[in-house]
A and B are shown apart, each in its own frame.
Chain A
Amino acid sequence: MTRAALAALLSHWARNKLQLAMLLAGLALATALWSGVQALNAEARSAYATAEALLSEGATARLDHPSGQIAQESFGALRRAGWLVSPVLEARVTLGDARVTLIGIEPLTAPPGAGPALAAEDLAAFFSGRGFAHPQTLREIRDVPREIRPSEAVPVGTVLVDIGQAQAILQSDHLTSLTLAQTQPEGLRPLETLVPELRLLSPGEGAELAGLTDSFHLNLTAFGLLAFAVGLFIVHSAVGLAFEQRRAMFRTLRALGLPLRTLTACLATELLLMALVAGAAGLVLGYALAALLMPDVALTLRGLYGAPVPGALQFNPLWALAGLGMALGGTALAGAQALWRLWHLPPLAPAQPRAWAHASARGMRVQSALAGALALLAIILAVYGTGLLAGFLLLAATLLAAALAVPLVLTTVLRLAERAARGPLAEWFWADSRQNLPRLSLALMALMLALAANIGVGTMVASFRATFIDWLDLRLVAEVNVIPRSQDEARALEAFLAPRADAVLPMLRVEAQLSGQPAQIYAMKDHATFRDNWPLIDPVPQVWDRLAAAEGVLVNEQLYRRSGLRAGDELDLPQIGPMPVLGAYPDYGNPLAQAVITLPRFSEIWPEAPIRQLAIRTEDAPTLIAALQDEFGLSAAQITDQAQAKEISLAIFERTFVITRALNLLTLSVAALALFAALVTLAGMRLAQLAPLWALGLTPRQLAGLELTRALVMGGLTMLLALPVGLVLAQVLLAVINVQAFGWRLPLQVFPGDWARLGLWAALAVLAAASLPALRLWRQGPAQLLRVFAHER
């Protein structure tokens, strides 16, 4: 009995292959987008874990110096006093064709970790110069100047060598940190008295890569979830329509003696089969999507956070299982309502379209109430919410409220249009559109979500871009930037440049904790370059004079907003004490807190801090660059001109949003597919409603034209609805999410040209979705329409 019933139910799909394809495609795409994003996140997180495991940073305490350099003597003093410490030297260097992070370790004293384990394979070779790097890094270096072996245990962009070798490469006898063994002998002199200049970092502290990149991954996850939700709308819509189409079959099967329990079980089995097939296809697609986006994600993470993420994707069975689970769960969620309805459907329930619409009217009331409640929640979150999670909840509540309100708003608009309509066809057009709205509403809700997300994210990115470019123009005013290889070279460069350049602005910084956040303190030379160009937020009067007089500190926007600082507030600086905040400056793309004090005061406190970069003002950059290359043999990686710097910054910016744009486009495609699926499914059911009009004297061509117009009108109304929702979304992203996730707030700028373009795309998507059913109606009209009358007997 069950087999016969299942066969009868599945026969529906054999006759409606396109509908089946749409349902499977919807679920597969939803799974693909979700699992693709998860694959990207998993890959990045696994890379962070590799980086942390190299020196067991998560498990060992460390000592460092605010200047970033520890003298060899401090290490010696600790060892002599009996402390079990191991030296680490870490610096950015140019090796072959790539800029890499060089890490030098002392394998015999280093706490157990992936790095020491690699060295221990052949200690003699390691001591005599053998290094280790990720295979991808080796490819990037290309001409390897020494023996470097490939190893997956080393993070991308890092080269691991013996500390002696690292000091030789860097021409430095300093160290950057000292790792402490987990167990130390008893009765040792305290660190505070032995090495008071050093700072003790507890295990995991200072290795905040995962923390810093959390916002980025949360953004990705939110997009994945949005795309998945849009995909589920398709499945929900397709399943619901298929159930309605087969209502007569359900009646017959039940009349023939099939128990309701068996019928429901058969339909649940059908859904399970579909979820498995589509979920598997979605995983393949998701993997392909992730592999496609991985290089951009890796570059973004490296560019924004310096996170060593490889550009290639590994297959992880756990990820596949989770993706399949999501597909199954999503299908269960999407099909639950249909199964519940079936369970409560009287065996001989009428299948009249208006009856269906009336049944939906109650649903719509519930939906409207839910939309109102979510809107209220959004308002509460907007007023009282704090933190990134509250920001995302605000986003979700806003989007869901707007999506749920779509049928209500459209019904009202269609009713008003019906009242204003003159002529029988116009009246029918609006009345019929309203009647069919329940069947299309899910697809329209999905379309609204996708369009609103596009408008919101598009506006946010465009606003950000416009602000960022203006900001770059002001920030990158130095014509040439040079990264010295050592402090001797830095001093030599300064001496060489003094008579040749208009100004030489050294960049010095120390690592610090400000307001409990990992931060950097920078030195700023009092110069017109900064006075004339740096945009400031809420500056105090005579801000530059006061900064030059060491009367206060400038902070970056991230620190300013995250710590709730105001101009005039005091900020506690290590080794300096409290200083008044003179203003804030935008600092896009930097995850860390930052403070700027004047150069003389900085040098007074941290005389050992190395010069990391020299910004050079000159009117003849090419000649100066050529002179620097001749005199110092500087490599291309060490010297950048203004145009290059802007190009690099813009490229990082563009890459940051490549993934966002790709997911946006895919979400819109999924929504178009949802509409197509709904329209194709509806087309067959619409015949009974359209045939009488044909009999009353309308041609199939007219009917097809009306169907196409209807789809466009619905799409257009949805786009109009999406516009304010998208702008609210953009405002939430700019004023709440960005502030919480990155620490900067941007002004909302509107780009009507972008909306027009999106509107055109949406119209094309709707047209594409509606064309096939309309074309079918036009081309095969009479034969199919006559069947409506022939089926009467």
Chain B
Amino acid sequence: MTALALETVTKSFPSVEGRVEVLRGVSLDIARGSAHALTGESGSGKSTLLHIAAGLEQADSGRVLVGQSDLTTLDEAGRAALRRGHVGLIFQQFNLIPSLSVAANLGFQARLAGKHDADFIIHLAQRLGVADLLSRYPEQLSGGQQQRVAIGRCLAARPALVLADEPTGNLDEETGDRVLDLMLELTAETGAALLLVTHSSRLAARCEARHHLRAGRMEGTE
């Protein structure tokens, strides 16, 4: 069953030298429960592709399907609702909500989506090793701890699709590896599909499938 499908998606942005084509007819298909890596050089369009898949940005042409929903036909409110209920986003800078405690951050998206499950959140917190940090605030955590909370927040809502943009980019190698292990384990456990954007071929190698973007075109899939 398809979790994310991109069909000949194009995207360009205006610049002082005219429009810059960032994605030039990219197609991609990710099944539920599978983990895919997306690699490419800086400016190759990885993040734009991820933003389009999350409905944060709209494609100029082509189709974007998340489950059965065609993002290109949805308005802003529809895309937001889809993100809330079906998509989990993990960022390089963690983007936790600074004013909320770890516990509140963990349950935040699940509660927004109406899928709050306290037992599952405690289970996630234990698996992620942040069960002792629930009353703390994001600023009181290390980078690795913050990213683990971000992963927990994402998975607590039981999304069908997890989109991770350089999730270990701000962490040292050892911490990054541990975070990735947890992410792979837990997405597999919840049956979510994972699209991991990364510069690192070492990390990409840990995913079942790897896609490489070059100058806005999908260069190859392994």
User: A residues engaging B (CB < 8 A)?
Assistant: 350, 352-355, 358, 423-425, 427-428, 431-432, 434-435, 689, 691-702, 782, 785-786, 788-790, 792-793
Interface segment, one of B61-69, B105-113, B118-126: B105-113
Identify the 3 closest CB pairs spanning chains A and B, nearest first.
A697-B84, A424-B111, A431-B99
B42 within 8 A of A: yes
Complexed CA–CA distance, A695 and B100 (Å): 17
The contact of B95 among A358, A691, A782, by CB within 8 Å, is: A691
Interface segment, one of B2-10, B23-31, B85-93, B204-212: B85-93
Given the interface pairs A696-B112, A701-B76, A786-B57, the reply to whether A435 lies near B99 with Cβ below 8 Å is: yes
Q: Are A428 and B89 in contact (CB under 8 A)?
A: no
Q: Are A793 and B166 in contact (CB under 8 A)?
A: yes
Shortest distance between the CB of A440 and any CB in chain B (Å): 14
Given the interface pairs A697-B112, A792-B91, A793-B166, the reply to whether A431 lies near B138 with Cβ below 8 Å is: no
Q: Are A792 and B92 in contact (CB under 8 A)?
A: yes
List B45-99 residues whose CB lies under 8 Å from chain A. 47, 51, 54, 56-57, 76-77, 80-85, 89, 91-93, 95-99
Shortest distance between the CB of A411 and any CB in chain B (Å): 13
> Which B-chain residue is minimally distant from A702 (CB atoms)?
B80
B133 within 8 A of A: no
The contact of A353 among B51, B83, B98, B165, by CB within 8 Å, is: B98
Shortest distance between the CB of A688 and any CB in chain B (Å): 8
Q: Which residues of B contact A689 (CB under 8 A)?
A: 97-99
Q: Which residues of B contact A792 (CB under 8 A)?
A: 91-93, 165-166, 169
Q: Are B57 and A782 in contact (CB under 8 A)?
A: yes
Q: Are A782 and B92 in contact (CB under 8 A)?
A: no
Q: Are B56 and A786 in contact (CB under 8 A)?
A: yes
For B187-201 the 0/1 string (1 means CB < 8 A from A) is 000000000000000
Complexed CA–CA distance, A423 and B114 (Å): 10
> Which B-chain residue is minimally distant from A353 (CB atoms)?
B98
Q: Are B95 and A424 in contact (CB under 8 A)?
A: no
The contact of A697 among B80, B93, B100, B107, by CB within 8 Å, is: B80
B104 within 8 A of A: yes
Shortest distance between the CB of B124 and any CB in chain A (Å): 16
B41 within 8 A of A: no
Q: Are B92 and A354 in contact (CB under 8 A)?
A: no
Complexed CA–CA distance, A434 and B97 (Å): 13
> Which B-chain residue is minimally distant from A783 (CB atoms)?
B57
14 additional A-B pairs beyond A696-B112, A697-B81, A697-B109, beta carbons within 8 Å, are A352-B139, A354-B137, A427-B104, A428-B100, A428-B108, A694-B80, A695-B54, A697-B82, A697-B83, A700-B76, A789-B56, A789-B93, A789-B165, A792-B92
Complexed CA–CA distance, A793 and B82 (Å): 26
Q: How many residues of B contact A (CB 8 A)?
A: 37
Q: Which residues of B contact A701 (CB under 8 A)?
A: 76-77
Q: Are A435 and B98 in contact (CB under 8 A)?
A: yes
Q: Are B85 and A697 in contact (CB under 8 A)?
A: yes
Q: Which residues of B contact A431 (CB under 8 A)?
A: 97, 99-100, 104
User: B residues engaging A (CB < 8 A)?
Assistant: 42, 47, 51, 54, 56-57, 76-77, 80-85, 89, 91-93, 95-100, 104, 107-109, 111-113, 137-139, 165-166, 169
> Which A-chain residue is minimally distant from B101 (CB atoms)?
A431
Q: Which residues of B contact A788 (CB under 8 A)?
A: 95
Q: Are B97 and A428 in contact (CB under 8 A)?
A: yes
Shortest distance between the CB of B71 and any CB in chain A (Å): 13
Q: Which residues of A contact B91 (CB under 8 A)?
A: 692, 695, 789, 792
17 residue pairs from A and B, CB less than 8 Å apart: A423-B111, A424-B111, A424-B112, A431-B97, A431-B100, A432-B99, A689-B97, A692-B95, A692-B97, A696-B84, A697-B84, A699-B80, A701-B77, A782-B56, A786-B56, A792-B169, A793-B92
Q: Are B139 and A354 in contact (CB under 8 A)?
A: yes
Q: Are B47 and A790 in contact (CB under 8 A)?
A: yes
Q: Are B47 and A789 in contact (CB under 8 A)?
A: yes
> Which B-chain residue is minimally distant from A424 (CB atoms)?
B111
Complexed CA–CA distance, A259 and B202 (Å): 43
Shortest distance between the CB of B114 and any CB in chain A (Å): 10
Q: Which residues of B contact A354 (CB under 8 A)?
A: 98-99, 137-139
Q: Which residues of A contact B85 (CB under 8 A)?
A: 697
Q: Are B98 and A427 in contact (CB under 8 A)?
A: no
Shortest distance between the CB of B134 and any CB in chain A (Å): 14
Q: Which residues of A contact B83 (CB under 8 A)?
A: 695-697
The contact of A789 among B42, B51, B80, B139, by CB within 8 Å, is: B51
Shortest distance between the CB of A682 and any CB in chain B (Å): 14
The contact of A352 among B42, B89, B95, B98, by CB within 8 Å, is: B98
> Which B-chain residue is minimally distant from A699 (CB atoms)?
B80
Q: Which residues of A contact B138 (CB under 8 A)?
A: 354
Complexed CA–CA distance, A425 and B99 (Å): 12
Q: Which residues of A contact B165 (CB under 8 A)?
A: 789, 792
Q: Are A786 and B97 in contact (CB under 8 A)?
A: no
Q: Are B99 and A428 in contact (CB under 8 A)?
A: yes
> Which B-chain residue is minimally distant from A425 (CB atoms)?
B112
Q: Are B76 and A695 in contact (CB under 8 A)?
A: no
Interface centre among A352, A432, A786, A793 (most CB of B within 10 A): A793
> Which B-chain residue is minimally distant from A789 (CB atoms)?
B91
Shortest distance between the CB of B99 and any CB in chain A (Å): 4
Complexed CA–CA distance, A428 and B109 (Å): 11
Q: Are A432 and B97 in contact (CB under 8 A)?
A: yes
> Which B-chain residue is minimally distant from A352 (CB atoms)?
B139
Q: Are A697 and B113 in contact (CB under 8 A)?
A: yes
Complexed CA–CA distance, A788 and B165 (Å): 13
Q: Which residues of A contact B139 (CB under 8 A)?
A: 350, 352, 354-355, 358
The contact of A699 among B57, B76, B97, by CB within 8 Å, is: B76
Complexed CA–CA distance, A105 and B139 (Å): 83
Q: Are B57 and A696 in contact (CB under 8 A)?
A: no
Q: Are B100 and A427 in contact (CB under 8 A)?
A: yes
Q: Which residues of B contact A699 (CB under 8 A)?
A: 76-77, 80
Complexed CA–CA distance, A792 and B137 (Å): 21
Complexed CA–CA distance, A431 and B96 (Å): 13
Complexed CA–CA distance, A427 and B54 (Å): 25
Shortest distance between the CB of B39 and any CB in chain A (Å): 14
Complexed CA–CA distance, A616 and B85 (Å): 87
Complexed CA–CA distance, A424 and B80 (Å): 16
Complexed CA–CA distance, A424 and B54 (Å): 21
> Which B-chain residue is minimally distant from A785 (CB atoms)?
B56
Shortest distance between the CB of A717 and any CB in chain B (Å): 18
Shortest distance between the CB of B117 and any CB in chain A (Å): 14
Q: Which residues of A contact B89 (CB under 8 A)?
A: 695-696
Complexed CA–CA distance, A792 and B76 (Å): 24
Q: Are A424 and B98 in contact (CB under 8 A)?
A: no
Interface centre among B91, B96, B107, B113 (most CB of A within 10 A): B91
Complexed CA–CA distance, A424 and B166 (Å): 27
Shortest distance between the CB of A700 and any CB in chain B (Å): 7
Shortest distance between the CB of B213 and any CB in chain A (Å): 15
> Which A-chain residue is minimally distant from B86 (CB atoms)?
A697
> Which A-chain residue is minimally distant from B94 (CB atoms)?
A692
Given the interface pairs A786-B51, A792-B92, the reply to whether A434 lies near B99 with Cβ below 8 Å is: yes
Q: Which residues of B contact A428 (CB under 8 A)?
A: 97, 99-100, 104, 108
> Which A-chain residue is minimally distant from B42 (CB atoms)?
A793
Q: Which residues of A contact B97 (CB under 8 A)?
A: 428, 431-432, 689, 692-693
Shortest distance between the CB of B188 and any CB in chain A (Å): 23
Shortest distance between the CB of A43 and any CB in chain B (Å): 52
